[in-house]
A and B are shown apart, each in its own frame.
Chain A
Amino acid sequence: MKFTTAHQSLRFSRRMLLLGGAQAAFGTLLLSRLGYLSIKQNEHYRLLSEDNRVQMIVVPPRRGWLVDRHNVPLAINRSDFRIDIIPDQLENPTQTLRLLASLLDLDPDQVDRIIKELKAARGFQPVQVAENVPYEKYAAVTVRLPELPGVQPQRGFSRFYPTGPAVAHLLGYVGTASAEEYEKTKDPLFLIPGFKIGKQGLEKTLEPYLRGTPGGQRVEVTARGQLVKELDPQPDRSGQTVKLTIDGGLQEYAARRMADHSGALVAMDIATGDMLAYVSMPAFDPNSFSKGIGQTEWRMLSEDDHIPLLNKVAQGLYPSGSTIKPAMALAFLKQGIDPNRRVHCAGGYQIGNRYFRCDAVHGSMDMHSAVERSCNTYFWAMGLVTDPAKTTEMVHYLGFGEKFDLPIPSQRYGTMPNPEWLKKKYDREWQGYDSANTSIGQGYVLVNPMQLAVMPARMASGKLLQPSLLLGGKRKPAPDLDVDPTHLEIVRKAMSAVVNGRGTAVASKLPLEGILMAGKTGTAQVFRLGSRGHQSNWALRDHALFIAFAPADKPRYAIGCIIEHGGFGAATAAPIVRDSMTYLFDKQKAWDALAPVEAQLGGTLAERTERRAEEFARIARANLAAKATAGGGQ
């Protein structure tokens, strides 16, 4: 069939209809899409558009204080000066940075960091140039401000710990939130220059109380982050002040009294279980961390063999040595051992095919004299005639190897071994020598310094005390110990004799009229084969331990102390405990005792910390100069 003009015309009309229909369909589609977006999705997009428009400029809250039981501040905020740059207002970045670098003495690394952060910055969010700027430099910048558009000098706050290292391990320190911490929480606060969060210790665990709520200025901003106008502001709320059970004075005293020893001391109030001192020495200066610790300082701290970065109270584990003996004695009594039963100490004891050597030839010993004189033979013998499961259970009940509910990150609890534990852990039966080792606090026994304070506190009070660090809130009174009070009396008398009779710590009597201290020394073997106590190499010497409570007749305070590689417990740990205990009853006498110790060391803790900081700074400068010359030579 021939395709004619008529056909053509008809086909045109039909196809026009088709085309017109398609166009109408498209029009309908467009209209319904428009309706869908602006009616059905309106709510959704309105929120998104508001989200775009309104931004918060976060105003960081002031961190809450940490105070001791008498409201003496342990951690406060000190006003400091800081310099930030608002990238959006920066006009001549190169020139501005050059001038700032010369005014503030910035080193090339810092300038590099600032340039990098400026490149990544978005609009109104400030980039930190320097914090903790000394007033003179701050003033120098302020004066030149007209030449420095975009530079914002500000007063900020930095965390300050008045007693420095004395509270380092208890309170921890604060630092800038890391990238991972931001990723986890997406908290915009973490991006504010100069904003610090708790990184260790109570600063970390009490973070929710201490941080407070940020305030904010709601602002309208453009896509490029330019501020258009300010909307309603929201005030910030400072963090709460947290009151600790710590006695700040005692804390500082004990830290200073520990001198250059490496060790830990925990003191408790027997009436409540309040921890009065929580000392781990040597320590870093937490103030250095608030400012941002230098590389040199960090390296020196991590390389120190006294491990100042380790919280020895929470994480140090030590054999208890003879400090276990009072608890052992109590365990024996409970199992029906007559306190008058005598054991002859000929300087050692044969168990199986091994001869265990005692410290001395003590002769005939009963329970009282065995504790007083710390005779191992007696405890070996009694350990062998009692049920090890029941004995270890009692010692554990008194605190060794126990977990305490305290707001301290990463604690270690140690081990109080028992037959069941041994079976599970090492798959073997409990042997006589296990009883022997355990009876004198060696072998598998590992305790932390808190347990060294909890044990005498429980024995002195007769109550199952729980240690606590936070004051406030009602506490349940501790239940009585499931122990015969007459048994406790026997042990307390023996412990009193350790200090006040013919015992191992008679040199550490309290220099106070009418107040007697009861205690028990401990010497924990570090190096098995070494001859005890006479090592010239510090790292191989025995640990010195001492546990105590006072007054012996009406106990109020308990202290546990360990001095790493301190030799005999009586030689180093006991005097430190004695003076710390003295502080609780007569501060002046205690300070008098401290003066010669510090004089010998060449200054107070604060003075020594300052000297060390200067030393760090000097080394850091020397390193930097060396690096600069090396870099220049390339």
Chain B
Amino acid sequence: MIGSAMIPVPLARLPWRLIWLVALICTIGVVTLYSAAGGSLSPWALKQAIVIFAFSIMAVGISYIPEHFVKQMIFPTYVVILILLIVVEMVGFVGKGAQRWVDLGFIRLQPSEFMKPAIVLTLARFYDLLPAADVKRWRGLWPAALLVLVPWALILVQPDLGTATMVLVGGVTVIFLAGLPMWYFLSAAGAVAAALPIAFAMMHDYQRKRVLIFMDPEADPLGAGYHITQSKIAIGSGGIWGKGYLNGSQSHLKYLPEGHTDFVFATFVEEWGLVGGALLIVAFGAIVLWGMRVANRAKTRFAQLAAAGLTTTIFFYVSVNLMMVMGLAPVVGIPLPLVSYGGSAVMTVMICLGLLMGFERQQRTKTSLS
């Protein structure tokens, strides 16, 4: 079926460096989930492996979508996701329950999950269409702001502070890279700083509590501060070399809550120590570096902005989760992509990676042709 001469070409064209990094991280994830289940493939490790496998196929598939098709499809996709967001919100409201997900059988997805890459692509497309001269004008800002703030607000009221923040930050990154005047950002940062107390007042009680607990986790060691405290214990007690695989007492004896989802990094570092943790961080760093290179080398404005935005989305996933787990940020419920159990983050990151691979493939083929 497949000619022997044909095989190496498409395979050789895959970005192997990236694939090895992703494989390494995914392996770490599955191995850690195996340990978190007390040395068992069920309930997490096997399922996660399957999910990862399925989404990597999907990512490779996405990488073959031509840029112009992405460009064409992005606005309609954005609108569809927006409608989905409104619909689930209404259904949830009518049903008096918070049904915010779409069941795909093997994975339950929140429409907000799709919004993370979609917002980046939409804005990239918007600035792609915007004449360079308009970038400094008002019309360079307000449509973009609207594109970001509407989904942001919809997700915020769900309420899902973590995802809302990710969408906002992803959008702002693209707007920033699009070259809008610096004073926008500085004054916005100033305004945010000034508005923080108001935002704090408007938060849900549980969110406010998380922020307060983050400031002083020991104030409530058995309550809301428990997560952060136990996570720091798990990471700190691992030392340089860790307690050894399958020997993490914090996770195995269930002192560490969410040791297979949001706090999986703590589970991993407890057993593999500073060495393992640093390896994982460096691997993620290398992926981000790779993505930023793709953005730098991109030939089209859309590709530039989209690649940088998607990379930053991955970066935010990782850094917010790690800051949270290591007690540098409040607990907001963001998983560590490719490592935490659960398909949503894997899907988002695989979509991002697939698109990035697509941009990268394009650069290579173009350079090789020219």
Among B26-34, B79-87, B199-207, B272-280, the stretch in contact with A: B272-280
Instruction: Report yes or no: B274 in contact with A49, Cβ–Cβ below 8 A.
Output: no
Q: With A34-B277, A37-B326, A44-B236 in contact, do A3 and B308 touch (Cβ < 8 Å)?
A: no
Residues of A contacting B250 with CB < 8 Å? Answer: 49, 52
Residues of A contacting B315 with CB < 8 Å? Answer: 23, 26
Instruction: Report yes or no: B132 in contact with A7, Cβ–Cβ below 8 A.
Output: yes
Whole-angstrom CA separation of A128 from B45 in the bound complex: 42
Residues of B contacting A3 with CB < 8 Å? Answer: 132-133, 135-136, 179
B-contact bits for A293-328, CB 8 A (1 contact / 0 none): 000000000000000000000000000000000000
A570 to chain B minimum Cβ distance, whole angstroms, is: 70
Among B2-10, B188-196, B227-235, the stretch in contact with A: B227-235
Q: Is A27 engaged at the interface, CB distance under 8 Å to the other chain? A: yes
Q: With A3-B133, A38-B273 in contact, do A222 and B254 touch (Cβ < 8 Å)?
A: yes
Residue of B178, B234, B236, B304 with most partner-chain A CB within 10 A = B236
Whole-angstrom CA separation of A27 from B281 in the bound complex: 7
Q: Is B269 engaged at the interface, CB distance under 8 Å to the other chain? A: yes
Instruction: Report yes or no: B278 in contact with A34, Cβ–Cβ below 8 A.
Output: yes
Q: How large is the interface on A (under 10, 10 to 19, 20 to 34, 35 or more residues)?
A: 35 or more
Q: Is A486 engaged at the interface, CB distance under 8 Å to the other chain? A: no
B306 to chain A minimum Cβ distance, whole angstroms, is: 12
Among A9-17, A441-449, A546-554, the stretch in contact with B: A9-17
Number of cross-chain contacts by CB at 8 Å: 133
Residues of B contacting A42 with CB < 8 Å? Answer: 236-240
Whole-angstrom CA separation of A19 from B179 in the bound complex: 12
Whole-angstrom CA separation of A16 from B301 in the bound complex: 13
Residue of A24, A27, A38 with most partner-chain B CB within 10 A = A38
Complex partner residue of A2 from B133, B177, B274, B323, CB under 8 angstroms:
B133
Q: Is A45 engaged at the interface, CB distance under 8 Å to the other chain? A: yes
Instruction: Report yes or no: B177 in contact with A12, Cβ–Cβ below 8 A.
Output: yes
> In the complex, which residue of chain B has the Cβ closest to the Cβ of A4?
B132
Complex partner residue of A45 from B232, B274, B322, CB under 8 angstroms:
B232
Instruction: Report yes or no: A26 in contact with B278, Cβ–Cβ below 8 A.
Output: no
Instruction: Report yes or no: A23 in contact with B288, Cβ–Cβ below 8 A.
Output: yes
Q: With A30-B323, A38-B239, A48-B233 in contact, do A19 and B308 touch (Cβ < 8 Å)?
A: yes
Q: With A3-B136, A19-B308, A38-B274 in contact, do A223 and B255 touch (Cβ < 8 Å)?
A: yes
Q: Is B122 engaged at the interface, CB distance under 8 Å to the other chain? A: no
Complex partner residue of B179 from A15, A23, A44, CB under 8 angstroms:
A15
Q: With A11-B179, A39-B239, A42-B237 in contact, do A52 and B173 touch (Cβ < 8 Å)?
A: no
Q: Is A626 engaged at the interface, CB distance under 8 Å to the other chain? A: no
Complex partner residue of B235 from A20, A45, A224, CB under 8 angstroms:
A45
Q: Is A603 engaged at the interface, CB distance under 8 Å to the other chain? A: no
> In the complex, which residue of chain A has the Cβ closest to the Cβ of B284?
A27
Q: Which of B244-267 contact A (CB under 8 A)?
A: 249-250, 253-255
Residues of A contacting B274 with CB < 8 Å? Answer: 34-35, 38-39
Q: Is B312 engaged at the interface, CB distance under 8 Å to the other chain? A: yes
Instruction: Report yes or no: B253 in contact with A221, Cβ–Cβ below 8 A.
Output: yes
Complex partner residue of A16 from B285, B296, B323, CB under 8 angstroms:
B296
Instruction: Report yes or no: B253 in contact with A228, Cβ–Cβ below 8 A.
Output: yes
Residues of A contacting B253 with CB < 8 Å? Answer: 52-53, 220-223, 228
Complex partner residue of B319 from A4, A13, A26, A39, CB under 8 angstroms:
A26
Residue of A41, A48, A220, A224 with most partner-chain B CB within 10 A = A48
Q: Is A360 engaged at the interface, CB distance under 8 Å to the other chain? A: no
Q: Is B292 engaged at the interface, CB distance under 8 Å to the other chain? A: yes
Q: With A15-B179, A23-B292, A23-B315 in contact, do A37 and B232 touch (Cβ < 8 Å)?
A: yes
B6 to chain A minimum Cβ distance, whole angstroms, is: 37
> In the complex, which residue of chain B has the Cβ closest to the Cβ of A24?
B285
Q: With A27-B285, A223-B255, A224-B254 in contact, do A12 and B179 touch (Cβ < 8 Å)?
A: yes
Complex partner residue of A5 from B132, B240, B273, B296, CB under 8 angstroms:
B132
Q: Which of A262-292 contact B (CB under 8 A)?
A: none
Instruction: Report yes or no: B135 in contact with A19, Cβ–Cβ below 8 A.
Output: no
B-contact bits for A29-68, CB 8 A (1 contact / 0 none): 1110111011101101110110011000000000000000
Whole-angstrom CA separation of A297 from B290 in the bound complex: 83
Residues of A contacting B282 with CB < 8 Å? Answer: 31
Instruction: Report yes or no: A52 in contact with B233, Cβ–Cβ below 8 A.
Output: yes
Q: Is A8 engaged at the interface, CB distance under 8 Å to the other chain? A: yes
Q: Is B328 engaged at the interface, CB distance under 8 Å to the other chain? A: yes
Residues of A contacting B255 with CB < 8 Å? Answer: 49, 52-53, 222-223
Instruction: Report yes or no: A46 in contact with B278, Cβ–Cβ below 8 A.
Output: no
Instruction: Report yes or no: B236 in contact with A38, Cβ–Cβ below 8 A.
Output: yes
Q: Is B101 engaged at the interface, CB distance under 8 Å to the other chain? A: no
Whole-angstrom CA separation of A3 from B179 in the bound complex: 10
> In the complex, which residue of chain B has the Cβ closest to the Cβ of A48?
B233
Whole-angstrom CA separation of A319 from B176 in the bound complex: 97
> In the complex, which residue of chain B has the Cβ closest to the Cβ of A46?
B237
Instruction: Report yes or no: A37 in contact with B236, Cβ–Cβ below 8 A.
Output: yes
Instruction: Report yes or no: A20 in contact with B292, Cβ–Cβ below 8 A.
Output: yes
A590 to chain B minimum Cβ distance, whole angstroms, is: 64
Q: Is B295 engaged at the interface, CB distance under 8 Å to the other chain? A: yes
Instruction: Report yes or no: A30 in contact with B132, Cβ–Cβ below 8 A.
Output: no
* Given A29-B328, A221-B253, A222-B254, 17 further pairs, Cβ under 8 A: A3-B179, A7-B179, A12-B178, A15-B176, A31-B282, A34-B235, A34-B277, A35-B274, A39-B239, A39-B240, A41-B236, A45-B237, A46-B239, A48-B233, A49-B236, A49-B255, A52-B250
Partner-B contacts on A (CB < 8 A): 2-5, 7-8, 11-13, 15-16, 19-20, 23-24, 26-27, 29-31, 33-35, 37-39, 41-42, 44-46, 48-49, 52-53, 220-224, 228
10 contacts between A and B (CB under 8 A): A15-B179, A19-B292, A27-B288, A33-B326, A37-B232, A37-B235, A44-B236, A52-B230, A52-B249, A224-B254
